Amino acid sequence: MEFESLDAPGGKELATENQDRECDMDSAQSRGLADPKFTRSERVRFPEFEIRLPFEANLFQDRVAPVRNRLADLGVHLEEATGACVVRVASLMHPRIGRNDLQLVADIFGFFFACDDRFDGPLGWDKAATAETVEVSKQVFAGYVPDQASDPFNYALMHLWEQIRQRASAELWERIVTHTLGWLDHYRWETGLRVDRRVATVTEQRRERFWASEMSFDWEYIELTDAAFLPRRFIRHPTIQQTLTDCTLIVAWWNDICSLARENPYSNVVYAIQQDRSCGLQDAIDSAYRLVLDLCDNVLAQQARLPALLGELQLDPRETARATAWWDSLLLSTGGALRWHVEPETRRYCQDRRQDLPTLVSP
């Protein structure tokens, strides 16, 4: 696979430097300003965001129905700006699937965004309410049939995931459910950090962010649409599992850097690094960015070793083709997520390279 650029095929893509848009100091970050730990600000410069993994767009992107309207039919509200760009992230993260599969993943991504926005509000500052909300949602996978009028979020969850269940093997469905339950549980962790005004440690970040990210679900969706019937000994191999963890952290921490002015500071890896190292915010941003680039390099190094791994597992030609297709889609999905965050059209994130942001005050 070759690296892609917006301007020309091949080469490494560099995000545009200055976009004329205001930063959105979101409510979660604004509440962080009331915390004595965040009473000072620091002028920082964001990196140029070099995308080291390949990416491409799905040819069916313009043929997908508006996700905001489809979720509204299920009773779920999606912000207008988010609805306008959710198809794009689905297209970049799943560039080689058909239109119907792209429509479903776009709908699911829209649902993920709606859930995140829901917990970014007052719900995400109430431990008891978060715990109750999470437990009710988890019951969808234990036989609970929600009513659309009184419980639209869980009705949408049931409706969307049922479309996956009908197509997935029993083993794949079990993994999808496990990761979905883990994703739901992560809201407890994030709410706990907010309420306690506690910044997570870097060690905690490495442990929790696999679940506190929709990416763990997305890797299974690749398996469902791009490379069905993967050999279990391949997907469960420690090298592959580590690569999945690395790709998850790549996207999660890239998101943390891009959304530093917008989202929960207590679960953000940049502030985790600043806290652990007692450094300035600029140093923490630079360190987080280097972590992401190092993980990208790790994944690319594993790609060079992939033929040896496939030989070690003694896969037959058909299994080898499926495993190779899955790997290609994994890298494209990860690179596509990175690309989406820094596109000028992505309206969830501020694109200004220089910003004044809250910085942790040393105790």
**pLDDT tens, residue by residue, 223-238:** 888 766 788 899 999 9
b/e per residue 317-334 (b: at least 16 CB within 10 A):
eebbebbebbbbbbbbbb
Question: Mean pLDDT across the chain, nearest whole number?
Answer: 87
Q: Average of pLDDT values for 284-310?
A: 96
Out of 91-100, 231-240, 255-264, 307-316, least confident range = 255-264
Here the tokens at position 209 are 């962010």
pLDDT of residue 345: 74
| Beta strands 13-14; 40-45: pairing state | unpaired
Q: Are 148 and 155 in contact (CB under 8 A)?
A: yes
Here the tokens at position 45 are 């410069």
pLDDT of residue 335: 97
pLDDT of residue 207: 86
Here the tokens at position 139 are 């019951």
Work out the pLDDT band at 218, boundaries 50, 70, 90: confident
Work out the pLDDT band at 213, boundaries 50, 70, 90: low
In the chain, % of residues over pLDDT 90 = 71
Rounded Cα–Cα distance for residues 173 and 166 (Å): 9
pLDDT of residue 347: 61
pLDDT of residue 19: 36
Q: Convert the pLDDT of each residue in 21-56 to its tens digit.
A: 333 334 444 444 478 889 899 999 999 899 999 999
pTM of model > 0.85? yes
Say whether pLDDT at 10 is over 60. no
pLDDT of residue 6: 32
Say whether pLDDT at 111 is over 80. yes
Say whether pLDDT at 9 is over 70. no
Question: Hey, is 101 helix, strand or coil?
Answer: helix
pLDDT of residue 215: 78
Work out the pLDDT band at 348, boundaries 50, 70, 90: low
Rounded Cα–Cα distance for residues 93 and 165 (Å): 21
Q: Convert the pLDDT of each residue in 152-183 to its tens digit.
A: 999 999 999 999 999 898 989 998 999 999 99
pLDDT of residue 362: 73
Q: Average of pLDDT values for 87-115?
A: 95
pLDDT of residue 333: 96
Q: Please count the CA atoms within 13 angstroms of the CA of 7 that sit on its side-chain side.
A: 6
Work out the pLDDT band at 216, boundaries 50, 70, 90: confident
Q: What is the dihedral of CA 154, 123, 83, 152, to 10 degrees?
A: 20
Work out the pLDDT band at 337, boundaries 50, 70, 90: very high
Number of H helices and E strands in the chain, helices first, is: 14, 4
